[in-house]
Structure 1
């Protein structure tokens, strides 16, 4: 109920007025069944605009802290994120990463849309970075297609370091689903997962027009934080 109120009464209308979103290729989202929606990640705003502007309800991972914070603020956070269809994800070691994958796979097996950012974190400079292979692993284990998506302009509406959103034109480009069914019976093959992940990232690059960098975004951020511009 809260999701639909947010979509059509509260946040949705405000976002349409502020960002004039142009959703291209909405017909490429499967009307039924599970699908993994893989998007580039330019700003925090992505996780609000994308699920509220696409035709079907979509779940996104959210930090577990949003669901476990005590007190009145924690209660409001749990109410908001649960109502928006977000699912709690632990971050940290390998066990937490596996649990996060299992959570997403569970959502997909229920026949729902699940959004993911293959880069693993926001782009530090607007370029598209190397994808993490979790996107391929989830698609193969859940046996669902991957729908590539490009968010364009959210970094202008929600600049890095700014607490406030600014009116700016946003485009959401949705590509055709990528069918990996020919690989469904190949289990835990790192080379296959890498190849499929790269295919997803190239599809996102074609939609977004971003420059692609064959380095993980987290590594680029570390380099920038250390002041190593050349390495970044």
Structure 2
């Protein structure tokens, strides 16, 4: 029954967050190895996928190059996008994540110690400082995952992209690797608490080189990244450029 699956998922979410969060904190404090602690995040993602009865079909793993830092850019339909990427993307990376997540007890502390980068969109100065910090980390060899839409899509349809994550990629000088996530909206839609077992299709696209792009070219790069994701979504999920607009036009929507 649906309520049983939902209850199972939330119990696992609570227990795994506490136990693996504390484990990750201990690993970093004792070994100073955030890459080892990131493996706790991978286990956390897989446990919660299993508890919810969700499987992930991954395509394009051959396009990954673990030796080169990149900016992974994914569409965002559901919380389960986070579990899918953590559990099934077999490389080291760090998140550029909303500041609110870092306020969650245990989880937030573990995220900071592992090296995830918080971004406070309510404060433009702090937000741009976070982007600068993230681009510096990419230049120094750490891959970053971003959601260019900025938040989950309420209806599962690809939203306009904010400019901040693309600016980060341009400043880093490293490639953007598009990740298309299809089907997660049906599992847990924004505003709902009910979990439905299902299948997510995660497609890793060809890297998009940012060399030669300047900040003035960001809208063109956004178009390229958005289309690279859209081509691997269903027709409904992809929407259309005319209906949704591919770039957030307002300066205040840049982040």
User: Which TM class, normalised by the smaller chain length?
Assistant: 0.7 to 0.9
What secondary structure, in the 3-state scheme, does the structure 2 residue paired with 1:5 have? helix
Q: Equivalents in 2 of 1:91, 1:217: separation in Å?
A: 15
- 1:73-92 residue pairs with structure 2 within 5 A? 74=105, 76-82=106-112, 85-92=115-122
Q: Equivalents in 2 of 1:11, 1:205: separation in Å?
A: 24
Q: Equivalents in 1 of 2:61, 2:132: separation in Å?
A: 27
Specify whether residues 160 and 29 from structure 1 end up closer, same or farther in structure 2 by C-alpha distance, changes over 3 A only: same
Q: Equivalents in 2 of 1:40, 1:218: separation in Å?
A: 18
Specify whether residues 217 and 137 from structure 1 end up closer, same or farther in structure 2 by C-alpha distance, changes over 3 A only: closer
2:231 maps to which residue?
Answer: 206
Q: Equivalents in 1 of 2:88, 2:113: separation in Å?
A: 16
2:91 maps to which residue?
Answer: 56
- 1:182-221 residue pairs with structure 2 within 5 A? 182-183=212-213, 186=214, 188-189=215-216, 192-209=217-234, 210-212=238-240, 213-214=244-245
1:114: Cα distance to partner? 0.7
Specify whether residues 58 and 166 from structure 1 end up closer, same or farther in structure 2 by C-alpha distance, changes over 3 A only: farther
Specify whether residues 163 and 121 from structure 1 end up closer, same or farther in structure 2 by C-alpha distance, changes over 3 A only: same
**5+ unaligned residues in a row in structure 1: which ranges?**
220-232
What secondary structure, in the 3-state scheme, does the structure 2 residue paired with 1:98 have? helix
- 1:1-232 residue pairs with structure 2 within 5 A? 1-8=36-43, 10-16=44-50, 18-67=53-102, 69=103, 74=105, 76-82=106-112, 85-183=115-213, 186=214, 188-189=215-216, 192-209=217-234, 210-212=238-240, 213-214=244-245
> Please, which moves more after superposition, 15-24 or 141-150?
15-24
Q: Equivalents in 1 of 2:156, 2:100: separation in Å?
A: 27
What secondary structure, in the 3-state scheme, does the structure 2 residue paired with 1:173 have? strand
Specify whether residues 215 and 178 from structure 1 end up closer, same or farther in structure 2 by C-alpha distance, changes over 3 A only: closer
Q: Equivalents in 2 of 1:156, 1:196: separation in Å?
A: 29
What secondary structure, in the 3-state scheme, does the structure 2 residue paired with 1:30 have? coil
Aligned-residue Cα RMSD (Å) equals 2.5
Specify whether residues 93 and 6 from structure 1 end up closer, same or farther in structure 2 by C-alpha distance, changes over 3 A only: closer
- Calculate the TM-score normalised by the size of structure 2: 0.72
More helix by share: 2
Where has structure 1 moved over 6 Å in runs of 4 or more? 215-219
